[in-house]
Homo-oligomer: A and B are copies of this chain.
């Protein structure tokens, strides 16, 4: 395989650190630059001792981010920066001919006015939105292949979209009334010195937050609407739980063709059109198998097992299980992922592999 030089802008946050881990172990990507304003001049191993004696980390030192240097040192640049700032780097980097994989929200939302509504400032580079590809490989693999700008999905969106997109595309669930109840580990809040994320404030604590309009809704609803072919508005409640990593999403859905208890769904007209639960259950299983049986990073749980974040932490795998509740007629789908891997840096490397023509699982298994 042809090797590529890669760089990470903003390598000192949790996503950046996880990118470093993955790229230091990648056989075809050579990590040539890591930037951090805070740590410029210090070695990688000094700030993240766990990398200190990896042979490939030996020469690496944090630098101030600089577009010209980056363009010399790398063919692909990862941006692990706050929204707003990422776009400022993406535009000049693309002009130098670099490919960009952006882990921020800047290029995920196609509509700049939706972006402004959710992120409270004008989009910094709306002219680039049309060329950006939403980096969810299981959905946009072929577009990723030829893209120069990847908008890598958020952690909550990945955990919600992968279970929902196939069902919506197949018309197996109602596009309305969707509820996503999600639990996230504390690394999702980033490496920020804030009281709310101190050990003592998070340990032995569970709490909802951002009720009821979390920023990630903008990209979730955009992608669900595209899958459903109609405008989708969902209910989304994130919670903070005391684990370092992991997102568990529980989705409450109305299967079409079923009579859902008390009218939650009920798209069918006459009782005669109602499919028995077994038939619906089989349709859902078929749909998921068709979508994901060959996907290397989706694990469908078809037996008794239910998703558990401890089975996916440190990996690029998302676990998905589902139950059709005979009491209510509702479909419950549950997913588990590592918010920093499949929900961020692993998925970004998956896109890198696709863009570079390398086997998609390279460095991720």
Please give the residue numbers on chain A whose beta carbons come within 8 Å of chain B beta carbons, in ascending order: 14, 25, 46, 48-50, 52-55, 174-177, 179, 181, 183, 186-187, 191-195, 197-209, 211-213, 233-235, 237, 239, 241-246, 248, 250, 252, 261-264, 296-297, 299, 301, 303, 305-315, 317, 319, 323, 325, 327-328, 330, 332, 334, 336, 365
Contacts and interface: CB of A to CB of B under 8 A. Distances in A.
A234 B329 CA distance: 11
A327 B212 contact: yes
28 contacts: A49-B299, A49-B308, A50-B311, A50-B315, A53-B296, A55-B365, A174-B262, A181-B237, A181-B252, A186-B198, A186-B200, A191-B195, A193-B194, A193-B195, A197-B199, A199-B199, A203-B242, A204-B309, A206-B241, A206-B248, A207-B248, A208-B250, A211-B323, A212-B332, A235-B330, A241-B242, A242-B242, A314-B314
Contacts of A177: 261-264
Contacts of A55: 365
Total copies of the chain: 4
Chain A interface mostly helix, strand, loop or mixed? loop
Contact of A208 (B193, B200, B307, B311): B307
B305 A49 contact: yes
A362 to B, nearest CB: 13
A311 B200 CA distance: 12
Contacts of A239: 183, 248, 250
Contacts of A263: 176-177, 263
A243 B243 contact: no
Given A49-B301, A177-B262, A317-B53, A323 B212 contact: yes
